[in-house]
């Protein structure tokens, strides 16, 4: 179920991002011609970013539920709960920071058109993005290492344990 939700959210993100590229997303504002494309590109960027965060929340939740099926040790499950909880909470905060960084929301794409409104300082969103990336990276590592640790304790040949551990670790990334 969550994988299907992830696929829908990620498909929306991709559609919005690709559409935004046609209107200049990813280019310097001065290089976008005609200038009206800047507003359209920023609007598509605003729509794609929240879907990216929601898709990340869905896939990380899906992987977390899968890992709960194989984790037996209470300490491993606690590590997973803490990691997943921290990731999901920060993702929710990042989602809200991004969505409400400008008020009214339309000021995100209209700010270069001298429309009244205000946006938070860009360093806030940039720092929040760095924080989101760091938490996503750490949680990916933890989600990769936990199954590897579980498999290393199984009664199998060392080579087989290593190969199964690698496969499970790669599935989390």
Confidence of residue 171 (pLDDT cuts 50, 70, 90): low
Question: Helical H runs in the chain?
Answer: 2-22, 36-70, 74-99, 107-110, 122-152, 158-172
* Greater pLDDT, 169 or 91: 91
Which of 13-22, 105-114, 119-128, 162-171 has the weakest average pLDDT?
A: 162-171
CB atoms within 10 A of CB 60: 22
Q: Could you tell me the residue ranges of all domains in the chain?
A: 2-172
At 27, list the tokens. Answer: 């280019």
58-99 pLDDT tens trace: 999 988 998 898 888 999 999 999 999 999 999 999 999 999
* pTM, 2 dp: 0.86
Return the SS3 of 103: strand
Cα–Cα dist 92/118, whole Å: 22
% of the chain beyond a pLDDT of 90: 53
Q: How far apart are CA 137 and CA 131, in angstroms?
A: 10
Question: Which pLDDT does position 15 carry in this prediction?
Answer: 94
Question: How many residues appear in the chain?
Answer: 173
- The encoded tokens of residue 160 equal 């087989």
């Amino acid at each position: 179920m969550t994988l299907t939700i992830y696929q829908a959210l990620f498909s929306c993100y991709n559609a919005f991002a690709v559409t935004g590229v046609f209107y200049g997303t990813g280019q310097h504002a001065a290089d976008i011609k005609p200038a009206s494309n800047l507003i359209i590109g920023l609007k598509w960027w605003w729509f794609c970013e929240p879907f990216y965060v929601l898709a990340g929340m869905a896939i990380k939740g899906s992987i977390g539920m899968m890992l709960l099926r194989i984790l037996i040790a209470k300490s491993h499950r606690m590590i997973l709960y803490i990691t997943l909880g921290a990731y999901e909470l920060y993702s929710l905060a990042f989602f809200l920071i991004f969505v409400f960084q400008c008020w009214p929301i339309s000021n995100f794409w209209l700010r270069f058109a001298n429309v009244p409104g205000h946006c938070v300082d860009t360093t806030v969103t940039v720092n929040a993005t760095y924080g989101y990336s760091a938490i996503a990276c750490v949680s990916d590592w933890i989600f990769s290492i936990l199954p590897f640790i579980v498999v290393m304790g199984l009664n199998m040949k060392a080579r087989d344990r290593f190969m199964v551990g690698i496969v499970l670790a790669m599935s989390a990334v």
